[in-house]
Amino acid sequence: MRRKIYCESLHYLQKIAPQHSLLRHKAELFLRQYILNKIEIPYVEMFVTTRCNLRCKYCSNLIPYLTVKEDERFEDVTEDLRLLLEKVDCIYRLKIHGGEVFLHPELKSIVEFVDSQPKIKSVRIATNGSIVPSQEVLGCLANSKAVVQISDYSFTQNKREELLKALTANGVKYIFLAGQEWRDMGKIAARKESSYEECSIKRCVSLCDGKIYLCSRTAIIAKLGLCADEGINVGLPRREFAKELKKLYSGKYSSACMMCDGDTERARIIKAGEQIV
């Protein structure tokens, strides 16, 4: 468990501070995690909305399955994150996602709050590339540590080019996932066995509705009431939270994994962003 957290933290630390040597990063993490026993999370995905302007057939977050789609209130997002940060000493990467993040009416305030948290070392904001945010949001992003992560869907090309121009003109940092491919993780249904060991998104810990889940997919399956809710409440006392977090990283799969094929090498490669008609 500790080795897994160490290796994943090293991966993100190298991206955050590429100017420093690998040896320095290893020594820093060894000191923090093995000597000082700091509670650290390499990566967290945080839901801020389940609203989306697209209906992706193979959405990894299962948004089309939800009958009620809504924005998380700013107060709830910040309270959940505040409680989580009280329990941990560092989050190396926080990914803000949905739904479509640029639909959230309070995104500027969310970004400003996240940016003010020193325990959060780097931030990604996921977008499908079909919406250009307001000038107010663009200005906020330009002055933050956030990097906008843009999906490559062929049918959003015109709007995406408009978005890229706006981000560039305002000095907003971004990455474009050119040539992006998805893997079919299957419909939500009971399996005879879990693909957890081979699944690449088992490292994508998710914060949803005040709880930490193995991944965003398990969070939504639990939200739909289709499996046991095994999320770790961020309101738990620090020691109890740390104990539960260790279990999550220990390699024991969630019951939701029995309802998913996982993102594995065996999964069928599909076109990114294919829509439900």
Is 230 a residue whose pLDDT tops 80? yes
User: Do 274 and 153 contact (CB within 8 A), yes or no?
Assistant: no
pLDDT at 138: 98
pLDDT at 205 over 90: yes
Q: What angle do CA 228, 233, 235 make, to 5 degrees?
A: 160
Q: Model confidence at 253, in pLDDT bands (50, 70, 90)? A: confident
Residue-wise pLDDT for 37-61, tens only, equals 999 999 999 999 999 999 999 999 9
Q: Which helix (H) or strand (E) holds 168?
A: helix 157-169
Kindly report, residue by residue over 6-28, the tens digit of the pLDDT: 999 999 999 999 999 999 999 99
Length of the chain: 277
Q: Give dist(CA 145, CA 124) in Å, integer.
A: 9
Q: What is the dihedral of CA 99, 103, 105, 110, to 10 degrees?
A: 50
**Residues 99-115: tens digit of each pLDDT:** 999 999 999 999 999 99
